[in-house]
Amino acid sequence: MARAEGLAETNMRILLVAENISLRLSGETLLPCCYFEQFVAGGEDVHLLCHERVREDLRADLPPDQFARVRFVKDRPLQNFLFRLGRRFPYRVEDLVFNQLIQIVTQWHMRGIARDMVRKFDIDVVFQPAPIAATAVSFMHGLGAPVVIGPMSGGMNLPPAFRRMDGPVVRLSIAAARFGSAALHRLFPGKLRAAALIVANEQTRAALPGGIRGKVHEVMESAVDLERWVQRPVTEKAANEPTSFIFCSRFVDWKGIRLLVSAFAPLARSGNSMLHLVGDGELFEEIREQVRREGLTRKVILHGRVDRDRYQEMLRETDVYVTPSLRECGGMAMMEAMAVGLPVIGIDWGGAAQYAAPDCALLVKPTSEQAVIDGLTAAMARMAASPELRRSMGDAARHHLEQAGHGWADKARAVLGVLKEAAEGSGRICARPKTTSEALAASSSLQVAR
């Protein structure tokens, strides 16, 4: 973002607050990092506040001058107790109840630190991009600067045919959590008092608590770094090379991984195909046993969690990305595969339906468990049979991301506009001259960050 030397600047002083900020983890921990990179690239003055668990990741990934801008919050005995207690319950109960309680305690401590940072660094606007759940409470209010929260997603249920996946205890906990969130937002009114809220879609807007005062903006939650995830060159596969499919996500039930393994079995037994499963989670050993039980150990490879560089290599070496998730609001892993030039097979529900397009994805209707298995099998068989289809849909996948504005530069530009509107509305942002040395320092910092 070039600016003429000596002219008045309107760069903002931004405090970015998120419990987990890391390029080495996954999911919503990447979001704050990507916003930070893009804001720094635009010359904004950004400080970070996060949890100490990501201290060493940030120390390794950030230049020293940027790492010096990070403050950390530590766990207290109460968080540790809640974590141990939550492990005794089903995953969805742990996630919706105990993890939210842990976040409440953590945010309570983060609020005090944030208030001090606003005062010390004369912050113009506080930005909280995570957690992304619309129902999650926020303590970021009364800080002395306007607060912007989002982009948020969520409010999504399983497809009707799969609602039984959540047992009675889980359904009761979900209902209690959603009912209780209304009361919690009155006790912890960060979202109610925020200057602006950003939602991914109308579904998320409907899930927001009642009594919102700030303006609600709509910006899709997920994005991909189109400079980092480069499209692979077109190469011809040898006739005897297997068609390779790849899945990357947490091993939890609603990601549909059991269905994927069952759907792949006919291809493994009758065709020349391979399935790569990347990730870990509570179902990892169960999936390993399913693969063994169905005699697929030579065709299905469980890689566990891999680092980003290795994962990029794997995407460039595989043919098709498969995302059978039944409750996916976003789609960052899918979009990374699309950016590399992989076609997608997914479920016509949630993130895959929102972020992909018919010319780059084959989507299966989730009308029943057997329909999903059969649909995934048919889609994989179709991809395996046609290199031309894989190539054309892979090219279309990258093109779709670029044309739809799903790159991080576009996403950060939209969010930055919301931040500036909130800061200007509060009267905190003002013109600031930039010296030659500051301009050079910003340019140097940008080069290191990239």
Q: Please name the helix (run of DSSP H) or strand (run of DSSP E) that holds residue 150, with its range, or none.
A: strand 147-152
Give the whole-number percent of the chain exceeding pLDDT 70.
85
Binned at pLDDT 50, 70 and 90, residue 180 comes out as low
Q: Above 80 in pLDDT, residue 9?
A: no
Tell whether pTM > 0.85. Answer: no
* Tens digits of residue pLDDT in 76-93: 777 767 677 777 777 666
How far apart CA 337 and CA 380 sit, in angstroms, is: 16
Nearest Cα neighbor of 346 from 376, 303, 368, 318 is: 376
β-partners of residue 345 are 322, 362
Question: What pLDDT was estimated at residue 268?
Answer: 93
Arithmetic mean of pLDDT, 324-348 = 90
- How many CA atoms within 13 Å lie on the side-chain side of 333? 27
Cβ-contact 198, 148 below 8 angstroms: yes
Q: Above 90 in pLDDT, residue 286?
A: yes
Q: Above 50 in pLDDT, residue 2?
A: no
- Where are the chain's structural domains? 8-223+407-440, 243-403
In the DSSP assignment, the letter for residue 159 is P
Give all strands (DSSP E) within 250-374, no chain letters: 273-278, 300-304, 320-323, 344-347, 361-364
Indicate the class that CATH gives domain 243-403.
alpha beta
Number of neighbours of residue 421 by Cβ within 10 angstroms: 18
Arithmetic mean of pLDDT, 386-409 = 92
Superfamily for domain range 8-223+407-440: Glycogen Phosphorylase B; (3.40.50.2000)
Question: What pLDDT was estimated at residue 167?
Answer: 63
Number of neighbours of residue 238 by Cβ within 10 angstroms: 5
How far apart CA 107 and CA 85 sit, in angstroms, is: 19
* Tens digits of residue pLDDT in 39-66: 998 889 999 999 988 899 899 888 999 9
C-alpha distance across the termini of the chain, in Å: 14
How far apart CA 337 and CA 315 sit, in angstroms, is: 6
Q: Above 90 in pLDDT, residue 341?
A: yes
Q: Please name the helix (run of DSSP H) or strand (run of DSSP E) that holds residue 49, with its range, or none.
A: strand 45-51
* Tens digits of residue pLDDT in 89-141: 776 666 666 777 777 778 888 999 999 999 999 999 999 998 888 888 888 99
β-partners of residue 274 are 244
Task: Give the pair of three-digit tokens for residue 240.
Answer: 């005897």
Same fold yes or no, 8-223+407-440 and 243-403: yes
Question: What pLDDT was estimated at residue 173?
Answer: 60
Question: What pLDDT was estimated at residue 71?
Answer: 93
Q: Find the range with the poorest average confidence among 147-151, 164-168, 221-225.
A: 164-168
Question: What pLDDT was estimated at residue 170?
Answer: 62
Q: Tell me the average pLDDT of the chain.
A: 84
Cβ-contact 57, 65 below 8 angstroms: no
